[in-house]
Amino acid sequence: MAPLLYHGAVALVSIENLNIRFGATHAVRGLSLDVAAGESLGLVGESGSGKSVTALAILRLLDAAATVEGRIAFEGRDLLALPDEEMRRLRGREIAMIFQEPMTALNPVMPIGEQIAEAVRTISASSRGARCASASSKRCTRWPCRMRRGATATIRISFRRAAAAHSDRDGDCQPAAAADRR
């Protein structure tokens, strides 16, 4: 299939008629959008409206219980049709997501620095960056449960920098807490 054009250029991300269900429950219905390179897009909605589920669907990280229909293209490639191995190669190298809550994304039995180093090793053949990341801060030797709430923002930034060093694009799944306040 030819790449989708967005204002004369290939859309970085193009979603057409995305529907996501968990059993009989529809999490997303009929979502369509295009995002050009260098463009920012915010998905705003109440808790449970499908923002994070949409991001997870783009990366094909949804649970097997999810039914995903529609088309999700990244630089013209249909992500839903890619073989698993090719999708794994894309994640972290070309497209990534920084999860909204670092404490739920962190492994509780692995020091912070090792987790950052592991992320770098996963997306890079170079181990130099991994050594630097794990040795660069006293915080890197701490366990996630020993981190103050405010320090998790620093961890989030470290993961973002590690991903950005090896990818020129990433998705930031950041909640808009005010959207849920009444």
Q: What is the pLDDT of residues 92-136, one digit of tens each?
A: 778 877 666 666 667 777 787 777 777 666 666 544 444 444 445
Q: What is the pLDDT of residues 133-167, one digit of tens each?
A: 444 556 667 776 677 666 666 666 666 665 555 55
Q: State the chain's mean pLDDT as an integer.
A: 75
Q: Are 96 and 163 in contact (CB under 8 A)?
A: yes
Show Cβ contacts of residue 135 under 8 Å, excluding neighbours closer than 6 positions. Answer: 113
Q: Are 113 and 158 in contact (CB under 8 A)?
A: no
Provide the phi-psi class of 63: left if phi over 0, else alpha when psi is between -120 and 50, else beta: beta
Residue 21, pLDDT score: 97
Model confidence, pTM: 0.65
Class of domain 5-91: alpha beta
The residue assigned the tokens 């260098």 is 38
Residue ranges per structural domain of the chain: 5-91, 102-164
* Reported confidence tier of residue 88, pLDDT bands at 50, 70, 90: confident
Residue 86, pLDDT score: 92
**Largest distance between two CA atoms of the chain:** 50
More confident: 100 or 58: 58
Residue 177, pLDDT score: 41
DSSP string for residues in 111-162? -HHHHHHHHHHHH-S-SHHHHHHHHS-GGGGS-GGGS-TTHHHHHHHHHHHH
Residue 83, pLDDT score: 95
Most confident of 38-42, 103-107, 169-173: 38-42
More confident: 83 or 142: 83
